[in-house]
């Protein structure tokens, strides 16, 4: 709690910040609350008098807050209200309708006495029947069921007896040899042969090749080599390889590249399926790393069963932890949960980066760490000078591109600034007002500081944990406003305000009985939105963002050719959706443009805009669409060779993203450009990223210049340290899990995370496959069912609707309603999103109540029992969980 001295220091800081004019207004509003004789003196005397007269104190600052609010100095008012909140005891949480605890008695017992339990019903079920749970289902609208792509049946078998592997390993590849291994139609380049043969010599390696050098084709050649080698061994073991990709959007493309090599039975394991089902009839399984981790955890696939592991984009930091978990199954010994490895697989890492480095001294240590992580004692790159020249000639070129700096327009900037100020003031007012913020919660960061949005998210999580539903409502609304506020930089004021108005309408009307605070916030915000829209309309000017004007001009030029296609890369899914709508309705582009969106798998808008990435991408490649607006989903590795223009719309993610965007310019007349404003953050990032290619050359030249024996020794030392650290962490985790399993009893409640509405007893929480749900009769009375007009069919289940919170004041989405085709006896079930619920339980070790709020069921710190022992042996699929839980947001979340 702040001290009296801190309170007075705040008052002094406010005095220093006020201008002379603001001081005059402040004194004027004091009226007769202070003597006239001190009004012309310093503010410190006035503050002293206000304290002495009891108007203000460290725990009662409403007097000052009201004055500064009336002066429109909302930033000052916010600082005072924030300080006051730290000095006042927290307000107790209100009890919402129907939030009483469940009685753990009659209703469930009566149900069990009169009905067969689910356990009894399914005791006779076949344990080998696998069940697929579609955790990653959209929040609205139909989606295309996942396509189970089978290996091509027309694969011509190899005659391995006629293939000399020594030629594959160390000689030139003649036409005769290429015909024997079925490669006569796609003759590899000499630099690719060099990479393959050098990789074979060292077994485990990281192939470092510049972007556009066709790393995947090199990996496919290696997979074919190891397949042939396996076929020459006279045993019953089949060949199995995993090709791991960092992004789901890349699955099909990478699989198609691997299929070009011939003789490999390549299959995609998408998010709706389990990799185990493809082992017998496939040679190469293309999937995200979490799919393999899932099988390794449940021991349905062992490392010893795998011949080759390919890690695409092995430098990729977002999934580096998943790659590391797979490597732990290879390198960590004598760990109870890790089966011993009889024969470790060949490791092939692919990267166009090598390492990120800040200076030259970091290159070798970072390379050593990368190699040590993947159990590679060396790297493989093109060393032969003639082959290096061939690589430069034959690899896909990287466009230098153009940076288009748009000049700021005075009228537009004035309008934009006015709306930004209005939305910022609205956020501050919502925080300051005691009626809209009864719990007196405040962000620790200033609204203009970096990390403000993240601070709001963390504050929301803390209020969810405390079951302060009014505060959660407030923060949901504020997050929507703030995210739209930031969008003014790239969209038009009309687009942003109209979408805000629609979003608030959707949010508010989704609740059957809104709380008073909900209605108050909704009406206040809608009033501001309507006022700002009216001001824009009265001005008679439909102001256009100059960057959008430049975008339209470029499109008109390039779309004059009907065969041209344009790829536009943006930062957020919200931008992709709005820009797509804007371009589709623009009169100057009528009869020219056929736009589509391709976005990533995070956020509710992502699901709404792009329910089928594969169909969208194919439509763009075949000409159904001629303009595609995309997010980072396609920045790495996705081929769009038909592009005539690759354009980043004021978006520069990082050095690698810029290079990938320039790499998309595959055709000879394809151009790359960035639309931004001069001296902006993105302008400077683009300039810096142009140094990337030189950086990669520096990395490779540095590596070539060191002793390979010295490098190997360095890698071994780093690996010893890494493995020791991994092993220690795994042992600690095993001990903790063992203790939890022995001491934890499922005693507690499962509640709606948003409002605290009790859904059921923790003891009734169970699991079937990848679904987690409450097997308790009263639970079905505590949710609001929203059935779909048209059920969505999947391989072994039918999505028949959504389950929402039973509290009429909340009605947030909790999960889905799923009918299981294989198990109709106990359908439907109501799979819950982990991100939508919280678990309160009593810790038996200290008898204290604890609250669990996780994003994924796989991270809950205790085992949730299977509904039946013979249930599908699938660990919580983080791929599904991430995608599914990503929808746990308001429609306005971006």
Alpha carbons 758 and 720: distance in angstroms, whole number:
49
Contact status, residue 236 vs residue 254, Cβ threshold 8 Å: no
Q: Is residue 239 located within the same domain as residue 366? A: yes
pLDDT at residue 873 is higher than 90 = no
Cα–Cα distance, 822 to 832 (Å, whole number): 20
Query: What's the rounded mean pLDDT across residues 512-535?
Result: 90
3-class state of residue 368 by DSSP: helix
Tokens of 583: 């371009």
Give the count of domains, the chain: 5
Q: Is the pLDDT reported for residue 146 higher than 50?
A: no
Supply the pLDDT for residue 301. 93
Q: Who wins on pLDDT, 889 or 79?
A: 79
* The predicted structure's pLDDT at residue 870: 44
- Alpha-carbon span 229 to 166, nearest angstrom: 11
Q: Which domain holds residue 51?
A: 1-89
Q: Do the domain assignments include residue 390?
A: yes
- What is the pLDDT averaged over residues 788-796? 80
Mean pLDDT, residues 299-322: 86
Residue 18 is predicted with a pLDDT of 92
CB within 8 Å of 392: residues ≥ 6 apart: none
Is the pLDDT confidence value at 714 over 90? yes
Q: What is the mean pLDDT of the chain?
A: 79
Q: Which of 627, 623, 617, 547 is CA-nearest to residue 589? A: 627
Distance CA 617, CA 634 (A): 10
Domain-terminating residue out of 504, 524, 542? 542
Do 477 and 553 sit in the same domain of this protein?
no
CA torsion 838-842-843-848 (nearest 10°) is 100
DSSP H helical ranges for 744-860: none
Q: What is the mean pLDDT of residues 213-227?
A: 93
Question: Residue 241 belongs to what H/E stretch?
Answer: strand 241-244
Predicted local confidence at residue 565, as pLDDT: 87
**What 3-state class would DSSP assign to 24?**
helix
Regarding whether 208 and 127 lie in a shared domain, the answer is no
CATH number at residue 322: 3.40.50.300
Residue at 651 is within a domain: yes
pLDDT at residue 515 above 60?
Answer: yes
pLDDT at 111: 32
Task: Work out whether strand 565-569 and strand 379-380 pair parallel, antiparallel, or are unpaired.
Answer: unpaired
CA distance 253 to 247: 11
Asked whether residue 766 is assigned to any structural domain, the reply reads yes
The residue among 516 and 347 whose pLDDT is bigger is 347
DSSP letter at 429 equals H
Phi, psi of 773 (to 5 degrees): -150, 165
CA neighbor of 18 nearest in space, from 63, 68, 82, 59: 68
- What is the per-residue DSSP string for 587-630? GGGTTT--EEEE--S-SHHHHHH-S-HHHHHHHHHHTS-SEEEE
Q: What are phi and psi of 207, to 5 degrees?
A: -90, 115
Name 349's bridge partners. 206, 311
The number of residues in the chain equals: 894
CB contact set of 748 (below 8 Å; sequence gap of 6+) = 761, 762, 839, 840, 841, 842, 849
Cβ(624)–Cβ(545) below 8 Å: no
CA distance 161 to 169: 16
Half-sphere exposure of 637 (CA within 13 A, CB side): 26
Q: 284 and 390 share a domain?
A: yes
- Given a contact cutoff of 8 angstroms between Cβ atoms, the answer to whether 355 and 174 are in contact is no
Q: How many helices (H) and strands (E) does the chain have?
A: 30, 22
Contact yes or no for 78/432 (Cβ under 8 A): yes
Helical H runs in 642-707? 655-663, 681-689, 692-704
Residue 10 lies in a domain: yes
Assess whether pLDDT exceeds 80 at residue 141.
no
Q: Read off the DSSP letter of residue 60.
A: B
184 or 370, which is more confident? 370
860 to each of 140, 270, 848, how far by Cα in Å?
Answer: 28, 24, 18
Chain centroid to CA 39: 56
Final residue belonging to a domain, choices 394, 417, 443? 394
Q: Which residues, listed in sequence order, are joined to residue 849 by a DSSP beta bridge? A: 842
716 pLDDT more than 70 = yes
Check: CB of residue 326 under 8 Å from CB of residue 297.
no
Tell me how far apart the alpha carbons of residues 345 and 524 are, in angstroms, rounded to a whole number. 62
The rounded distance, in Å, linking the Cα atoms of 198 and 765 is 53
Global pTM reads 0.69
How is residue 276 written in tokens? 């185990």
Range among 271-275, 555-559, 822-826 with highest mean pLDDT value? 555-559
Predicted confidence at residue 198, as pLDDT, reads 95
Instruction: For strands 595-598 and 627-630, give the pairing.
Output: parallel
Q: What value does the mean pLDDT take over residues 68-87?
A: 90
Secondary structure of 625-638 as H, E, C letters? CCEEEECHHHCCCC
Q: Residue 880 phi/psi, 5° resolution?
A: -65, -45
pLDDT band at 887 (very low <50, low <70, confident <90, very high): very low
For the cut 80, the answer to whether the pLDDT of residue 670 exceeds it is: no
551 and 471 fall within a common domain: no
537: enclosing H helix or E strand: helix 516-539
Q: What is the CATH number of the domain that holds 69?
A: 1.10.533.10
> CA-CA distance, 642 to 798, in Å (whole number)?
38
Residues 260 and 284 in one domain: yes
Which pLDDT belongs to residue 393? 84
Domain boundary among 394, 424, 455: 394
Lowest mean pLDDT among 19-23, 264-268, 729-733: 729-733
* 3-state secondary structure at position 695: helix
Q: Can you give the pLDDT at residue 612?
A: 59
DSSP string, 281-292: T-SEEEE-HHHH
pLDDT tens readout for residues 38-74: 988 899 999 999 999 999 998 899 999 999 999 999 9
Say which residue, 75 or 680, is predicted with more confidence.
Answer: 75
Whether residue 537 is contained in a domain is answered as: yes
Most confident of 422-426, 555-559, 634-638: 422-426
Same domain, 232 and 323: yes
**Which is more confidently placed, 350 or 704?**
350
Q: Backbone phi, then psi, for 552, in 5-degree steps?
A: -65, -40
Structure tokens at 99: 């939030």
Residue 203 has pLDDT above 90, yes or no: yes
Is residue 496 within 8 A of residue 488, CB to CB? The reply is yes
Tokens matching residue 316 = 């990729």
Residue found by looking up tokens 């009296």 in the block: 4
Neighbour-count burial for 657-674, b at 16+ CB within 10 Å, e otherwise: bbbbbbbbbbeeebbbbb
Q: Taking 70 as the threshold, does the pLDDT of residue 705 lie above it? A: yes
H/E element holding 202? helix 190-202
pLDDT digits (tens, 9 = 90+) for 471-486: 989 999 999 999 999 8
Q: Spell out the long-range contacts of 448-454 with Cβ–Cβ below 8 A and sequence spacing 24 or more.
A: 452/482, 453/479, 453/482, 453/483, 453/486
Both 524 and 550 in a single domain?
A: no
Classified as helix, coil or strand, 728 is: helix
Q: Is the pLDDT of residue 518 over 70?
A: yes
Q: What pLDDT band is residue 400 in, cutting at 50, 70 and 90? A: low
pLDDT value at position 68? 93
C-alpha dihedral over 696, 698, 699, 704, to 10 degrees? 130
Q: Span 319-347, mean pLDDT?
A: 89
Please return the burial class of 279, using the count of CB atoms within 10 Å of its CB with bins 0-12, 13-18 and 19+.
middle
Most confident residue range from 89-103, 519-533, 657-671, 675-689:
519-533
Tokens coding 164: 């000399």
Residue 735's pLDDT band (cuts 50, 70, 90): confident
Position 13 pLDDT exceeds 80: yes
Is the pLDDT reported for residue 317 higher than 90? Answer: no
| Cβ neighbours, 10 Å, residue 360 | 10
- pLDDT at res. 637: 47
Q: Are 507 and 523 in a shared domain?
A: yes
Integer Cα distance of 286 and 325 in angstroms: 18
Q: Do 847 and 754 fall within a single domain?
A: yes
Average pLDDT of the segment spanning 438-452: 89
Q: What is the pLDDT of residue 888?
A: 33
Mean pLDDT of 712-728: 93
Whether the predicted pLDDT of 608 surpasses 70? no
Once rounded to an integer, what is the mean pLDDT over residues 253-262? 88
Which residue, among 79, 74, 9, has the nearest Cα to 44 in the 3D structure? 9
- Dihedral of the CA atoms 305, 310, 312, 314 (nearest 10)? 90
**How far, in Å, CA of 811 to CA of 804, rounded?**
5
150 occurs within a structural domain: no
Helix H, strand E, coil C: the string for 431-486 is HHCCCCCCCCCCCCCCCCCCCHHHHHHHHHHHHHHCCCHHHHHHHHHHHHHHHHHH
What does the pLDDT average to over 297-322? Answer: 86
Round to whole Å and give the CA distance between 219 and 265: 15
CA-CA distance, 53 to 34, in Å (whole number)?
9
Q: Which of 137-141, 273-277, 625-629, 732-736 has the lowest mean pLDDT?
A: 137-141
Mean pLDDT within 652-674: 63
Q: How confident is the model at residue 699 (pLDDT cuts 50, 70, 90)?
A: confident
Tell me the pLDDT band of 404, cut-offs 50, 70 and 90: confident
pLDDT at 381 over 50: yes
Residue bearing the bigger pLDDT, 725 or 883 = 725
pLDDT at 173: 93
Q: What is the pLDDT of residue 206?
A: 94
For 756, the 3-state DSSP assignment is: coil
pLDDT of residue 640: 61
> How sure is the predictor about 408, in pLDDT bands with cuts at 50, 70 and 90?
confident
What residues pair up with 766 in beta bridges, in sequence order?
Answer: 773
In a shared domain, residues 584 and 603: yes
Which position has the higher pLDDT, 876 or 761? 761
Spatial neighbors of 24 by CB under 8 A, at least 6 apart, are none
Is 50 a member of any domain?
A: yes
Q: What is the pLDDT of residue 884?
A: 32
Could you tell me if 787 and 812 lie in one domain? yes
In a domain, 713, yes or no: no
């Amino acid at each position: 709690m702040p001290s009296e001295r801190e309170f007075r220091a705040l008052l002094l800081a406010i005095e220093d910040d006020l201008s002379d004019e603001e001081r005059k207004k402040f004194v004027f509003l004091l009226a007769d609350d202070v003597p006239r004789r001190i009004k012309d003196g310093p503010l410190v005397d006035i503050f002293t008098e206000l304290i002495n007269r009891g108007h203000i104190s460290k725990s009662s600052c409403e007097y000052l807050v009201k004055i500064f609010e009336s002066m429109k100095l909302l930033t000052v008012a916010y600082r005072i209200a924030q300080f006051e909140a730290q000095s006042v005891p927290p307000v107790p949480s209100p009890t919402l309708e129907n939030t009483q605890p469940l009685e753990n008695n009659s209703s469930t017992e009566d149900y069990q006495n009169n009905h067969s339990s689910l356990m009894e019903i399914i005791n006779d079920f076949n344990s080998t029947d696998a069940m697929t749970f579609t955790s990653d289902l959209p929040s609205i609208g139909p989606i295309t069921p996942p396509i189970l792509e089978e290996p091509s049946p027309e694969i011509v078998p190899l005659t391995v007896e006629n293939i000399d592997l020594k030629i594959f390993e160390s000689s030139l590849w003649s036409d005769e040899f290429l015909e024997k291994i079925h490669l006569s139609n796609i003759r590899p380049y000499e630099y690719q042969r060099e990479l393959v043969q050098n990789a074979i010599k060292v077994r485990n390696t990281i192939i470092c090749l510049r972007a556009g050098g066709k790393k995947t084709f090199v990996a496919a050649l290696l997979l074919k080599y190891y397949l042939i080698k396996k076929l020459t061994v006279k045993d019953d073991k089949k060949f199995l390889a995993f090709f791991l990709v960092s992004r789901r959007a890349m699955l099909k493309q990478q699989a198609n590249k691997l299929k070009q090599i011939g003789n490999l039975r390549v299959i995609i394991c998408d998010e709706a399926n389990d990799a185990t089902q493809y082992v017998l009839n496939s040679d190469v399984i293309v999937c995200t790393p979490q799919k393999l981790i899932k099988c390794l955890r449940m021991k349905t696939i062992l490392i010893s069963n795998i011949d080759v592991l390919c890690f695409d984009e092995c430098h990729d930091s977002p999934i580096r932890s998943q790659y590391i978990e797979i490597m732990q199954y290879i390198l960590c010994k004598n760990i109870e949960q890790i089966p011993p490895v009889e024969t470790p697989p060949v490791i092939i890492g692919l990267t166009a980066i090598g390492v990120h480095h800040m200076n030259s001294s970091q290159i070798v240590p970072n390379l050593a760490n990368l190699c040590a992580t993947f159990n590679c004692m060396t790297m493989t790159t093109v060393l032969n000078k003639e082959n290096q020249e061939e690589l430069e000639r034959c690899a896909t070129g990287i466009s230098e591109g153009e940076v288009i700096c748009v000049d700021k327009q005075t009228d537009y900037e004035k309008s934009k600034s006015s709306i930004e100020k209005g939305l910022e003031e609205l956020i501050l007012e919502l925080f300051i007002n005691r009626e809209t913020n009864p719990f007196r919660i405040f962000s620790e960061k200033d609204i203009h500081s970096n990390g403000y949005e993240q601070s709001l998210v963390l504050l929301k999580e803390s209020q969810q944990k405390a079951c302060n539903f009014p505060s959660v409502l407030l923060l949901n609304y504020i997050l929507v406003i703030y995210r739209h506020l930031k969008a003014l930089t790239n969209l038009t004021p009309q687009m942003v305000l109209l979408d805000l108005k629609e979003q608030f309408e959707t949010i508010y009307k989704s609740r059957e009985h809104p709380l008073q605070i909900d209605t108050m916030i909704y009406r206040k915000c809608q009033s501001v939105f309507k006022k700002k829209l009216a001001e824009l309309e009265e001005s008679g000017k439909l102001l256009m963002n100059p960057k959008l004007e430049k975008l339209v001009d470029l499109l008109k030029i390039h779309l004059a050719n009907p065969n041209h296609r344009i790829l536009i890369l943006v930062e957020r899914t919200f931008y992709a959706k709005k820009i797509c709508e804007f371009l589709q309705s623009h009169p100057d582009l009528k009869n020219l443009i056929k736009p589509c969106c391709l976005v990533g798998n995070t956020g509710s808008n992502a699901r709404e805009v792009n329910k089928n990435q594969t169909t969208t991408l194919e439509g763009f490649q075949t000409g159904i669409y001629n303009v595609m607006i995309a997010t980072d989903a396609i920045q790495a590795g996705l081929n769009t060779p038909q592009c005539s223009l690759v354009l980043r719309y004021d978006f520069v993610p990082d050095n690698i993203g810029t290079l990938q965007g320039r790499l998309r310019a595959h055709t000879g007349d394809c151009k790359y450009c960035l639309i931004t404003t001069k001296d902006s953050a993105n302008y400077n990032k683009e300039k810096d990223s142009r140094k990337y290619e030189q950086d990669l050359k520096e990395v490779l030249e540095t590596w070539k210049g060191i002793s390979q024996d010295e490098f190997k020794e360095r890698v071994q030392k780093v690996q010893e340290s890494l493995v020791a650290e991994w092993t220690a962490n795994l042992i600690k985790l095993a001990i903790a899990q063992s203790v939890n399993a022995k001491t934890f009893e499922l005693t507690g409640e499962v509640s709606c995370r948003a409002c605290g509405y009790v859904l059921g007893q923790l003891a009734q929480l169970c699991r079937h496959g990848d679904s987690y749900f409450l097997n308790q009769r009263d639970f079905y009375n505590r949710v609001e069912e929203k059935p779909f007009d048209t059920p969505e069919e999947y391989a072994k289940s039918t999505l028949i609707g959504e389950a929402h919170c039973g509290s009429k004041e909340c009605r947030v989405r909790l999960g889905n309603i799923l009918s299981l085709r294989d198990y109709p006896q106990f359908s439907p079930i109501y799979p819950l999103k982990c991100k939508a619920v919280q678990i309160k339980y009593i810790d038996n070790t200290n008898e204290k109540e604890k609250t669990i709020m996780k994003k994924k069921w796989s991270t809950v710190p205790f085992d949730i029992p299977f509904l039946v022992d013979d249930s599908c042996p699938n660990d919580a699929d983080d791929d599904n969980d991430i995608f599914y839980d990503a929808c746990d947001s308001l429609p306005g979340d971006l």
